[in-house]
Amino acid sequence: MVYPFDDLEMLGWKAVDGQPGTVTRPLAGAELVLDQVRRLNDGLNDLSSGVLIDHGLPLAELLDRISESWLRLRFHSPLIGAKVYHDSDPETLGSWVYTAVTLEQAKAWLQQSLHFHFYPNGQLTSEAVEEFVSAQIKTALPFDGKGDVLVHGHILVERSSGRMAIVIHGTHVIFDGPALLDFLYLFLEHITSPHSSTPSTELDWGTEMSNLPPHPVHLVGGAQDGWEAEGIAMLKEMDLILGDERGSHTLRPSRLQVAAVGTVQKVYHSFDHEETSKILSSIKTLQSTVTVALEAAHVLATLNLHAPTHYQGRTVLFPSIVALRHKFCVPWNKRSTVVGTGSAVPITVTHNLLQHGTEREKLLNAMIDIKKQYTKWLSNPHHPLIVPAQQAMNPIRQKTTKPDAEITSLGVLDRKLPIVWKGEDGKDVLVIKDFSLSLRRTTPVLMTHSWTLNGSLRIQCQGSDVWDIEQMQRFLDEIVRLVRVLTFTSVS
């Protein structure tokens, strides 16, 4: 292989001496980033996500199908049953450790990782799911008394109303956004079509290790021709951008010290169907994307609420996450390859670009510039190796202490997670009603997410208690206002 992947062949899954059936592999790429971030920052970005669902199954059958689905997921996506090992030396980076299981051992794992919660009829609302989702991330994974379990499934269900919710609580090392949605897809598919895949009783337990994802470089097919010249040059260019002495102009929290670690404050706005349609139509007319539009609004909102002293500065959106699942090579290009991946590129908006013109003109200027940068980075065939290379050369070693504000979009969920799920008899079995997401916040970094579901665009901001809720609300309101500007023909 090529630098910095010279020893790549030594970094795959290896048997652990003296522990039959146990294999290990060093964390790498986005896995390593996400693990170091959570390790150094008390579980930062542990993820909890819920899907509110109406179902048409008898309760006993529903619960049986859910348990069976959870077992099948353990076999086909075994990383959900893996552990991350950290040496007592903080300088030693983490490694995956996985031990093959029998069916009985898989069932014992299910007892530790799958939890049922029963609600009185009429009380399992979107608000109740939102509250439950946010409560899960108050404590970092793994929980005391739950061994080293890094992924939990919570089933919230009303006994006789046909209302339920599935909440996945897991480490971001395993679940980035696309992996989470694929995992939920498989979960719901097993529930609605139990005869479409092999039952857990007939699976060849002990061989599920063959489904463990390989090193991130192997996952995307290895280094492309020209990496040593063009790929390394790309990394050097990124280093220059991120090392620019101007830094990044961003929002400032009310204080820097987190008082109650794990407490998440959240504000959100959901556009109705009509307004969402107008926004998406405007973005399409501009030949742009929701991601680009929201990043432009994010930058402009930052400047409007925290004005720079001059317009020679810049705001850097980093990491701007780029999904890589579509880059997975055979045989890993399937939904069951569940692991945190993703490329990260720096998107920079210089403030002089936003100094003149109407608000809409400023927004469009930012969108044009951001789109050009994405086109540049993503047209480089080596971009899937950005994060593995960066982490191989210079892994994260320090806590996150600098205030910042990040933004990322999950896209149109309906395209990745169908709203209506039909059974094998063609009848509706599950209908998705709502989606919730919370990430554990333990640093001064404000996190903004967006997604569209059932024709409604949602934008939400989450932060630790260094951010006043009123400050977060003002920031969200400003982003929402600027997004609406896109639907106007002219704004002064």
Of 150, 178, 208, which marks where a domain is finished? Answer: 208
The Cα 237–Cα 382 span in angstroms is 13
Residue 213 counted as domain residue: no
Quote the domain boundaries for residue 321: 222-411+442-485
The Cα 3–Cα 7 span in angstroms is 9
The Cα 382–Cα 378 span in angstroms is 9
The Cα 211–Cα 80 span in angstroms is 11
* pLDDT above 50 (res 461): yes
Pair 163, 239 in one domain: no
Identify which of 266, 269, 262 has the alpha carbon closest to the alpha carbon of residue 131: 266
Of 161, 186, 208, which marks where a domain is finished? Answer: 208
C-beta pairs of 481-486 under 8 Å, 24+ apart in sequence = 482/296, 482/297, 482/300, 482/301, 482/359, 482/363, 483/271, 483/279, 483/293, 483/294, 483/297, 483/459, 484/275, 484/279, 485/359, 485/360, 485/363, 486/279, 486/282, 486/283, 486/286, 486/293, 486/360, 486/363
Do 134 and 99 contact (CB within 8 A), yes or no? no
Backbone φ and ψ for 256, nearest 5 degrees, come out as -105, -20
Q: Can you give the CATH number for the domain in which 340 is found?
A: 3.30.559.30
| β-strand partners of 50 | 167, 436
Residue 489 has what pLDDT? 67
Average pLDDT, stretch 472-482? Answer: 98
Pair 124, 260 in one domain: no
The Cα 344–Cα 104 span in angstroms is 41
Record the pTM. Answer: 0.95
Give the sign of the dihedral formed by CA 476, CA 406, CA 166, CA 273. Answer: positive
For the beta sheet containing 445-453, the strands, ordered from the edge strand earlier in sequence to the opposite edge, are: 265-270, 456-463, 445-453, 404-412
* pLDDT above 80 (res 146): no
Q: What is the mean pLDDT of the chain?
A: 94
Pair 255, 153 in one domain: no
Average pLDDT, stretch 214-229? Answer: 94
| β-strand partners of 170 | 47, 151
Of 178, 208, 238, which marks where a domain is finished? Answer: 208
Residue 419 counted as domain residue: no
Average pLDDT, stretch 230-235? Answer: 95
Average pLDDT, stretch 192-209? Answer: 96
> What band does 144 get if pLDDT is binned at 50, 70 and 90?
low
Do 439 and 42 contact (CB within 8 A), yes or no? no
The number of domains in the chain is: 2
Three-class DSSP category at 212: coil
Residue 425 counted as domain residue: no
Which of 96-100, 118-122, 167-171, 309-313 shows the lowest mean pLDDT across its residues? 309-313
Average pLDDT, stretch 333-347? Answer: 96
Three-class DSSP category at 245: coil
Pair 310, 362 in one domain: yes
- Rounded to the nearest angstrom, the gap between the alpha carbon of residue 482 and the centroid of all alpha carbons in its chain is 25
Residue 262 has what pLDDT? 86
Pair 157, 233 in one domain: no
> What band does 15 get if pLDDT is binned at 50, 70 and 90?
very high
Pair 248, 136 in one domain: no
Q: Angle 455-461-465 (CA atoms, 0-180°, nearest 5)?
A: 155
For the beta sheet containing 163-170, the strands, ordered from the edge strand earlier in sequence to the opposite edge, are: 114-119, 151-158, 163-170, 47-55, 428-439, 420-422
Per cent of the chain over pLDDT 70 is: 98
Q: Can you give the CATH number for the domain in which 28 is found?
A: 3.30.559.10
Three-class DSSP category at 59: helix
